[in-house]
Amino acid sequence: MNFAGYGSATYKEKVMARKYSKGASKKVKKAMHERKKGTLKSGSGRKVKSRKQAIAIGLSEARKEGKKVPKKAKKSKKKSKRKSKKS
């Protein structure tokens, strides 16, 4: 489908809002590049080898700079069932 006035971009790309800003995407891209070169360090100073950890670092840096990034997912507490003692 070709929508008048939208050029080469699709209708969905024009109408839907971005979840992550372009600046946040750049931060993640930079972190991934550093990880690949072997220069990305975690908070403790150790080398980052995990792809997921590199993405998390990039998003964290973007949040600190005030870029548009969704909030962190809240961890749900597990309800533990207490076993009754048998005497």
Q: What is the DSSP string of 14-82?
A: HHSPPSS-HHHHHHHHHHHHHHHHT--B-TTSPBP--HHHHHHHHHHHHHHTT---PPPPPPPPP-PPP
Mean of pLDDT over the chain: 84
Question: Are residues 32 and 59 in contact, defined by beta-carbon separation less than 8 angstroms?
Answer: no
Mean pLDDT of all residues in 45-63: 94
pLDDT of residue 32: 96
pLDDT of residue 39: 95
Highest mean pLDDT among 62-66, 71-75, 80-84: 62-66
- For 44, phi then psi, to 5°, come to -85, -5
How is residue 27 written in tokens?
Answer: 């931060």
Q: What residue segments make up the domains of the chain, in order of their start?
A: 14-64
Of 38, 35, 83, nearest to 58 by C-alpha is 35
Q: How confident is the model at residue 38 (pLDDT cuts 50, 70, 90)?
A: very high
**Is 70 exceeded by the pLDDT of residue 40?**
yes
Name residue 47's beta-bridge partners. Answer: 41
